[in-house]
Structure formats: C-alpha cells, structure tokens
Structure 1
C-alpha cells in the first residue's frame, strides 16, 4: 500500500504522517530529509528541482515491491508529481491513498510556520511569505482531506486507518 501525503508546509502533514507510520509500521519517506541529504552530499545550498522526488519514487517502488507499506511526505504540489506516485503503485500492483492535509485557519497555519523547529540538520524552513507564495495547484481527483485546524493528530490517524480499510 502506498499512502501519499500532500499539503503546504506547516499544515501538519509530517506530524500526522509520522504518527501513522508508527501506528501501521510503514516505511516513511520525507522529501525534506531526502533533499537535505542531497544538498549535504553536494555541499550546496540550492533548490532541488525534481531530484528529491525522483529519489523518493525509487525508494517507494523498491519498498513497495518488498511488500512494505510506504508513506510519502511531500508538498506534492502539481498533478505531475501526484500522477508519478500513482504510476509507481500501479507498476507494483498495490493500492494507494491520496491524503491532502490542510489548515483552514490561516492565523493558526501562520503560527505553526513561524514557530516550527528544524528537525533536520541544515534544513532551512520556509517563512510564512514563502508558504503563501508556494506554487500549489488545486486537486482534480478524489482524496482524503484532513483539516489539521479541527482534527487532532490522533483523530487524523483514525480517519486514515478507516479510509485504508476501504482501499485495501
């Protein structure tokens, strides 16, 4: 099973994705971690472009083929990246679930962004202006939408677990 988390920085997706990974014993692939490792390896401070996603796609495919549940955690801002995850799941013959995490309360979202602590050495977190200016295309397909302004992490995980039971 491939569980695909998407949403703007500070929406709560990493917190929920980590909690779910612990709950279901999944492989957890976070784009921020992958991209920072690539920057560290190249000793460069630059935009990654698609490199982090390409690495995540390969790791997801390999772990799915081994029979693991895989959770991906990324902004996943455009149909191209969303489609790529679906193609990976189909190529391995496993189901997938799209999850979009949103924070419907702009002041809460801003507070989260501004108070976030770096949990990956060397990672530069986006400020609020970068988050609101982030290119993020609207969805054109079915997905589970979790509003972290009204749902706790535990409630979000429970909603995902219930949705997974229907997908399998």
Structure 2
C-alpha cells in the first residue's frame, strides 16, 4: 500500500457582532476553499422550532455545532464555524475542539469600524432564518456591551469599506493561504 499524505485540518471560526460581516466572510471562505460552514443561528432557530425553550438553546447550539464540526474534522475536512462568539467560554469550545482533533485553529473576528454602515446593515438585512427574527440595532448595541475582550490570537478584519471578495482575500492572506 502506498504512503498516505496526512493533511492537517483547520478549524476556522468567525466571530463578531451581528451585522459585522462574519457570515459574508464565512460564506466566501467556504466557496474559496471548499469547506462546510456550521452556523450557530440556524441551529438555534431549529431548536426553537422544536419547542426547546429559548433560554436553553444558546450554549446548546454552540455544542451542536462543535459536535458536527468534530465529525467533519475527524474525516480530514477543514470546517468553518459562523457564530458571534462573544465570550471567552464560547471561544474556549473551539480551542478544546481544535486540541482534541489536532486541528489548526484560526479565529477570524469581523468588525465594522463605521457605525453608520453597521447600523444600515442591521436595519436592511433579511436573513430569512425560519423562526429567528432579525435583530434590531438596539440589541446589537446591547451585545456590544456584553462582548468580552479577546485573550487569544485572531485575524481581525474591518468590513466597513471592502467588498466581500476583498475581505475573503484579506483573510486568506492573513492566514497565509495566498
């Protein structure tokens, strides 16, 4: 039997406030590198549609995403996770997963430096996630106050003025992929 090449998997985790551009980056990366996206919001919305009380689904949705990510990493796939990841406890989920699977962990934090652009995104977006209402700007402001500082390395991307394609290229460059 021939030699098998072992490829190190990557766990790419986007983070940032709602409307910051993290999902656009996750989608662009998925198309470019051919990796699946696991998005926490649709998982949580599915839980709500299954009559699981909302107060029980936040952390559980992250755990479901982590379990599915782990199965994909086990078979050698790179995985992209799309989630706000506002607190260290959520981020630690991905650190533990990458350690268990010996995957390279790359956090990508999206932020929008122009508050007017950010607010307009929130006010105009329609995500269409069945069972999950779009978030109002006031809630984004509350989430900003709840957002914990980072203690780990990450790729930081300002999404205020660049096209989705340019943002993806910036991330790939910072990841050393270009």
Q: TM > 0.5 between the two?
A: yes
4+ residue stretches of structure 1 with deviation over 4 A? none
* TM-score, normalised with respect to structure 2: 0.88
Which residue pairs with 2:158 in the alignment? Answer: 147
* 8 Å CA contact 2:44, 2:58 repeated in 1: no
Q: How many residues align?
A: 165
SS in 2 for 1:2: strand
State which structure, 1 or 2, has the greater radius of gyration over its C-alpha atoms.
Answer: 2
SS in 2 for 1:50: helix
1:69 pairs with 2:78: yes
**Which residue, out of 111, 116, 121, partners 2:120?**
111
Cα distance 1:110–1:45, how it changes in 2: closer, same or farther (>3 A)? farther
Root-mean-square deviation (CA, aligned residues, Å) is 1.4
Q: Aligned partners of 2:95, 2:107: CA distance in 1, in Å?
A: 9
**Which residue, out of 50, 63, 71, partners 1:41?**
50
1:124 pairs with 2:133: yes
Gaps of 5+ in 1: none
Gaps of 5+ in 2: 1-9
Which residue pairs with 1:9 in the alignment? Answer: 18
Cα deviation for residue 164 of structure 1 reads: 3.0
* TM-score, normalised with respect to structure 1: 0.93
1:31 pairs with 2:31: no
